Amino acid sequence: MLVLEGLFHGGINEAIRPCLEPVDDNATLSPDAEVLEITVARMEARDMIRHAILKTAVSLLALGCSLVLAVGCADDEGGTSGTSSSSSSSEQWFQGGTLHGATAAQWKSGTYQNKLATAADWLAATIWKGHLKSPSDFDRVKVKAQMLVTAVDEVVAGEQPDSLQASEIAAALITMSNDLGP
């Protein structure tokens, strides 16, 4: 309570002025300043540890999801399973995706059709697996694949290494998104 009274009577600027004054390296710190310095150092260390743990967790999550995507896409042999065959020999929107193992740089240079088909493969191999049973399901997954293409495009346009795998980005997006599922 005395501290609060000091802040109100002496003003906040007067209360924090000692913290803002330059520190002489040869001067000894008061016990309060030492405690503050130790507290700040502990907070910085804790933040660094949290950042490292979060970075590791995201990397492991992306790796796990990439494996799921790779296995799912390999099971589907480059297309979605359970698709109805068309009497036309023309390629469907979900066929012909070849960017499953692409880097961010390769994804950037891919065609929209290739990106869309690849995104459809990723979705069909993961959260849409077993849900593609009717033509309307394919219409719905097309919208979701378009959303995934847009999201991956936005991520690869940002500042990150071009060697980052597009499948890792997609895996993280699929895992964290509530909008891409059936």
Q: Tens of pLDDT along 47-57? A: 666 655 656 55
Range with the largest mean pLDDT of 11-15, 36-40, 64-68, 70-74: 36-40
How high is the pLDDT of residue 89? 47
Q: How far apart are CA 181 and CA 123, in angstroms?
A: 8
Question: Residue 68 pLDDT more than 50?
Answer: yes
pTM over 0.85: no
Q: Convert the pLDDT of each residue in 77-100 to its tens digit.
A: 444 444 444 434 467 999 999 999
How high is the pLDDT of residue 162? 82
Look up tokens 């500042």; give the residue: 159
Q: Convert the pLDDT of each residue in 119-162 to its tens digit.
A: 999 999 999 999 999 999 999 999 999 999 999 999 999 887 88
How high is the pLDDT of residue 110? 96
